[in-house]
Amino acid sequence: MQVKIANLYPYELNLYGENGNIKALKYALEQKEVDVEIININPNDKINFNDLDFIYLGSGTKENLELVKSRLIPYRKELLRYISENRVLLVTGNALSILDFLKLYEIEETEKRVVSDVIATTSLCPDNIYGFQNTEYLIKSTNKILFNINEGYGNDGTLMEGYIENNFYVTSIIGPLLARNPKLTNYFVDILTSNA
């Protein structure tokens, strides 16, 4: 069994050690004897969505977020199809501002940067989720939420955070999220190994 993981624009979206999410997922898959191929998508690369099992976008500077968004807008139909086909796409930190052009959720830019430790829960796995927030963007929508916040900032001033649609997961939480939460990582491993 092989799983192909795409790390979108890792040199532009490289803040806060978020590549640790890819490392944690790769390690957990290899523990299940899964052959893992990491594909770094760089600026001049064409994205073949049909060839990918997992896509990841991590945090970046404001300038790089806009740059990456401009590269991905031409792929709008392909991204929506990828999501509708129940394939896995994870977005963490301020990268959530990149995919608002899909019109699946709304974002808001906060007046002051949101900085907080996070303790949350989710229906995806047992036990608390631990992480950190350091962002100027939050999701405004409060439907299809991913996490219930015990400590930290939620969508639109609520205690609900993130967005989930099929296997499309969006959160402002960093940490790296998967490295700090092995049970959440195992949730993704289960999806990928059942789909492969």
Per-residue confidence (pLDDT) for residue 139, from 0 to 100 = 96
Strand partners, 37: 4
Q: Is the pTM of this model over 0.75?
A: yes
Reduce the secondary structure of 2-34 to three states and give it as a string.
EEEEEEECCCCCCHHHCCHHHHHHHHHHHHCCC
Per-residue confidence (pLDDT) for residue 195, from 0 to 100 = 60
CA–CA separation, 16 and 44 (whole Å): 24
In this structure, what DSSP letter does residue 51 have? G
Residues of the chain with pLDDT under 50: none
113, exposed or middle or buried, with CB in 10 Å at 0-12, 13-18, 19+? exposed
Q: Is 43 helix (H, G, I), strand (E, B) or coil?
A: coil
Q: Which structure tokens are listed for 138? A: 């939050």
The most distant pair of C-alpha atoms in the chain lies apart, rounded to whole Å, by 47
Per-residue confidence (pLDDT) for residue 1, from 0 to 100 = 87
Per-residue confidence (pLDDT) for residue 159, from 0 to 100 = 95
Strand partners, 168: 89, 165
Per-residue confidence (pLDDT) for residue 17, from 0 to 100 = 78
Q: Which structure tokens are listed for 86? A: 């129940």
Per-residue confidence (pLDDT) for residue 73, from 0 to 100 = 97
pLDDT in tens, 77-118: 999 999 999 999 999 999 999 999 999 999 999 989 999 999
In this structure, what DSSP letter does residue 87 have? -
Per-residue confidence (pLDDT) for residue 137, from 0 to 100 = 94
Closest alpha carbon to 184 in 141, 124, 131: 124
